[in-house]
Chains A and B, each alone.
Chain A
Amino acid sequence: GAVVSQHPSRVICKSGTSVKIECRSLDFQATTMFWYRQFPKQSLMLMATSNEGSKATYEQGVEKDKFLINHASLTLSTLTVTSAHPEDSSFYICSATTSVLPSYEQYFGPGTRLTVT
C-alpha cells in the first residue's frame, strides 16, 4: 500500500527557534500533500494544501508566514514552524494523495509531536 513517513516523530525546541518537519511519500509520487494540526483529544484541523511545484494554499486563519510549506518534489513536502512559541506545541500530521491512486483517498503519515519550551 501507499506509505507516508514523517520526520522527526518528536521534537522539542526552544521558544523563538524554527523547526522543520518532513513528509515523504515512500512508494508513490504525491501530487498533493496536506498538513494538519491536531490538539489533544480533538479532531484534525487542515492547515494547508500543497501541490508539487506551486505555492501552498492555506486555510483561513493559518499564518502562512509562520507555517512555511514547501513541496519541492513529488515525494517530499516540508513544514517549517518559524519563531515557534509554546502555543505552537501540537501534533502535526501530513497526508498525501496522487492522481494515480483513487484521487479522493489520502494516506497519512504517523505524525510529529512538537513541544516548544
Chain B
Amino acid sequence: GDSVTQMEGPVTLSEEAFLTINCTYTATGYPSLFWYVQYPGEGLQLLLKATKADDKGSNKGFEATYRKETTSFHLEKGSVQVSDSAVYFCALSDRGGSNYKLTFGKGTLLTVNP
C-alpha cells in the first residue's frame, strides 16, 4: 500500500536558519504530493503541492520538488521565522485510487526560537 515517511522531530531552529524536512514515499500509482501545516489547536492548511515529476511547489517561502527518481518531496525554507512554528505533514494522494484518499506522514514538529 501507499506510505509516507518523514523525518521525525522535533526540530528546533533559531530564527533565520535554513530548514529541511525530509519526506519520502511509496505508492502503487503516480501520486500527487502535498505538504500541510497545522498550527496549535487548528486544522490542517495546504502549504504547497506538486502533481507530477520535477514540479516544484512553493508558498510563503517554502519549497518542495517532486523527485520521482528518489521518491522524495523534501520541504525547504531558506530563512525560518518564529511564526513558522507548527507541525508539518507530508502527504500523498494516489490518483489511481478511488475517492482520492490522502496518506499522511507522522508529522514533524518545528519550533523556531527568536
Contacts and interface: CB of A to CB of B under 8 A. Distances in A.
Interface of A: 6, 32, 34, 41-44, 46, 49, 51, 57, 93, 95, 97, 102-111, 113
A49 B46 contact: no
Q: Which of A42, A57, A105, A111 has the most CB of B within 10 A?
A: A105
A7 B112 CA distance: 31
28 contacts: A6-B43, A32-B100, A41-B107, A41-B109, A44-B44, A44-B89, A46-B101, A93-B43, A93-B44, A95-B44, A95-B102, A97-B100, A104-B51, A104-B93, A104-B95, A104-B100, A106-B93, A106-B100, A106-B102, A107-B46, A108-B43, A108-B44, A108-B45, A108-B46, A109-B43, A110-B42, A111-B41, A113-B41
Interface in B32-49: 32, 36, 41-46, 49
B10 to A, nearest CB: 9
B42 A103 contact: no
Nearest to A113: B41
Nearest to A44: B104
A25 to B, nearest CB: 13
**From A6, A34, A44, A105, residue with most partner B Cβ within 10 Å:** A44
B41 to A, nearest CB: 8
Contact size range, B: 20 to 34
Contacts of A41: 107, 109
B32 A104 contact: yes
**Which of B43, B44, B45 has the most chain A CB atoms closer than 10 A to its own CB?**
B43
A92 B44 CA distance: 11
A5 to B, nearest CB: 10
Given A42-B106, A43-B104, A44-B104, A110 B43 contact: yes
Contacts of B107: 41-43
A51 B100 CA distance: 12
A1 to B, nearest CB: 9
